[in-house]
Amino acid sequence: MNPDKFLTVKQKTKGAASDQMNSTAGALPQGRNALIGLGSNINPESNLVKAKDLLAQWPGIHPMAFSRLYRTKAWGKTDQDDFLNAVIKLETRLEPLELLGALQQIENMLGRERLEKWGPRTIDLDILDYGGLVLQTDRLVLPHPLLHQRAFVLVPLLGVDPDWRHPISGLPARELLAGLPPEEMEPVEQPDLWD
């Protein structure tokens, strides 16, 4: 799969594979970079914006870049509404488990219910990568164990971090994406919503 096909004309003429980049002014001293995957298929526009805003206000978290929103077919359990997915690159002073705790609090604040595996969800927040750390505990696995298999993660990830490499295999995200079967995915044009 060629991620360039998901870029708008505007982005192509800018010549950058990266999505909306924010200023790094005010970045946290001694912060670590982390990549967060966001997904929702229940009022997805509203829930993704709320999650983004809560992340931006969270103490110790400084968002650096927001990917575009992508509409994607549900994965695993297909008889449900389409998802909107995005990736946020952030800098954080939080330790990995603290960051996971913050994401889970945000999920709870947005009313996430875990009714069934792969089922509809108000919001799903995953730590895709935390500074290249490789970790395997009961609560947290880093990098996220499924990220290299999912186009709906890799495409927005490339938008915020085009040079990212998988911490275990060392393979660039672009190469990982090229190995995946094509999937139905379309960028969502909602600049006012996400900006």
**Residues of this chain that bind ligand AMP (CB under 6 A):** 100, 124, 126-127, 139-142, 144
Minimum CB separation of residue 5 from ligand AMP in Å reads: 28
Buried/exposed 63-102: b ≥16 CB within 10 Å, e otherwise = bbbbbbbbbbebbeeeebebbbbbbbbbbbebebeebbeb
Query: Which is nearest to 40 in space by CA: 161, 157, 124?
Result: 124
Q: Is 112 a catalytic residue?
A: yes
The catalytic residue among 19, 68, 112, 161 is: 112
CB 50 within 8 A of CB 87: no
Give the residue with the Cβ less far from ligand AMP, 74 or 193. 74
Does residue 86 contact residue 76 with C-beta atoms inside 8 Å?
no
Which of 19, 124 has the CB closer to ligand AMP? Answer: 124
Tell me, yes or no, if 71 is annotated catalytic: no
Nearer Cβ to ligand AMP (17/106): 106
126 is an active site residue: yes
Active site residue 121: yes
The minimum distance between CB 191 and ligand AMP, in angstroms, equals 28
- Among all residues, which ones are annotated catalytic? 112, 121, 124, 126
